[in-house]
Structure 1
């Protein structure tokens, strides 16, 4: 009897313990849901695996990508932009063309003209143990400013060469006198060229009716009170025939032409 009472007492104690684990029903629930049980677990026993998207976001913040340069979309080359750009360029060219045409009509710029009037040769004998120095050629030119409203200014730097048959270079020089010419004036200038070979000069000295090509590259400005040009590259080419290149050289014929690109700017 005592064992049965002890066993019954234990069953009653277990029933009371189980009854204490049963939570009251949630508020607002009726008597129908009294048989619903809510089981709670401690926090240290709850395991949670984060979704894969969280790992991708963390990786993106860990290794930020460099921002890509903004590329020009199709709008940069749209027909409207191209047409507007073309209109602007054409307008600028038209204004510049009208301005230049007006200036040309007013000032009527004309290329200068050159004329070769004299050529002389100076030679110096060398010593016993030294070769003779190269000959020196002195050429006299007349520069004509044929402009009626423009003055001319020549820079003293130049590129001058004199050649003969088969384009054999006879002499060359890099100096031209700094010259200012008023409108309609003519000025005589002298240039000095250094010979390239004493042997070549001796051969030409014995020849008769020698044909020479004198090529000059000069820089000239056209000026007036309210207008100026930048340094304009002028190319002068003269074909000359002389009696010889010794003593008493005479010019038998000569013909010079000038090429110059004229660009006028307001001052």
Structure 2
């Protein structure tokens, strides 16, 4: 609301007499709780009723407006809309650009999926490791009075890009004809692609009567008594290619014949097969 100011007594405008220059007339008066507006000197308010209103003549007036009624014109959201229409560089992109971006993203995702699928299929279709018997050492001087059979095997990873991890705890048994004569445990190790490794498995004799063929071959050097063994192993393992891994179990069957069980035992012939379970 405008502040009422009584008219001058001497008929002169005291505001016009007190202002020294134009800059002083336009400077607002400081106030901590209100904002000020200037009324141009060319405006004059003429009331309809002299008894109810005061005549406002040319001069500088102070208008007090509460802070909670001060608004910004135009609002901030209108300013952003105007700026967006004025800037031609921010025009809406054509639909063809969106389709191109979606097509590139689709082909990129398709390439990643095909790559992962190819790696997974290559792990599934990888070749099984190949095993062979290298040596056998017979030891009948043990604390348990049961003989031990130390068999040296060779494992060959025939894959050029997949590694094989053999886990400990696989079941292994040594048989003579159809009778199980000893049991052992498969060791744990990792074999890189295209590599070969020799390792030993110790088979401890079972609580059975020693077969006649083993008794003769272990006590008679000449003439030599050949013994034919059968080796069976279930080996838990895992094929790995890069970050892809697949667990599986390898079942190994080896039939081999040795010339004698005394010192200097040689493997005469053998046949090994590996399958997956």
2:164 equivalent to 1:152: yes
Q: Do the aligned residues in 2 keep the contact of 1:135 with 1:198 (CA within 8 Å)?
A: no
203 and 254 in structure 1: CA distance in 2 versus 1, 3 angstrom threshold:
closer
2:253 equivalent to 1:243: no
1:86-97 alignment runs, 5 A limit: none
1:93-108 alignment runs, 5 A limit: 103-104=120-121, 108=125
Unpaired runs of 5+ in structure 2?
1-115, 218-224
> C-alpha displacement at 1:247, in angstroms?
2.7
| Separation of aligned partners in 1, 2:181 and 2:199 | 21
2:270 equivalent to 1:259: no
> C-alpha displacement at 1:101, in angstroms?
7.0
Give CA deviations for 1:230-267 in whole Å, capped at 9, x if unaligned. 2x111000000111223322110011000014xxxxxx
1:195-210 alignment runs, 5 A limit: 195-197=205-207, 199-200=209-210, 203-207=213-217, 208-210=225-227
1:1-267 alignment runs, 5 A limit: 103-104=120-121, 108-124=125-141, 133-165=145-177, 167-173=178-184, 175-197=185-207, 199-200=209-210, 203-207=213-217, 208-230=225-247, 232-261=248-277
| Separation of aligned partners in 1, 2:189 and 2:213 | 35
| Separation of aligned partners in 2, 1:160 and 1:215 | 6
CA RMSD of aligned residues (A): 2.6
> C-alpha displacement at 1:203, in angstroms?
4.2
> C-alpha displacement at 1:202, in angstroms?
6.1
Return the structure number with greater helix share: 1
205 and 258 in structure 1: CA distance in 2 versus 1, 3 angstrom threshold:
same
Give CA deviations for 1:82-103 in whole Å, capped at 9, x if unaligned. xxxxxxxxxxxxxxxxx86774
TM-score calculated relative to the size of structure 1: 0.53
| Separation of aligned partners in 1, 2:196 and 2:142 | 37
Unpaired runs of 5+ in structure 1?
1-98, 127-131, 262-267
> C-alpha displacement at 1:162, in angstroms?
0.9
Q: Do the aligned residues in 2 keep the contact of 1:201 with 1:245 (CA within 8 Å)?
A: no
Q: Which aligned segments of 4 or more residues in structure 1 are displaced greater than 4 angstroms? A: 99-102, 105-108
Size of the aligned set, in residue pairs, is: 157
100 and 237 in structure 1: CA distance in 2 versus 1, 3 angstrom threshold:
farther
| Separation of aligned partners in 2, 1:199 and 1:115 | 28
> C-alpha displacement at 1:205, in angstroms?
3.5
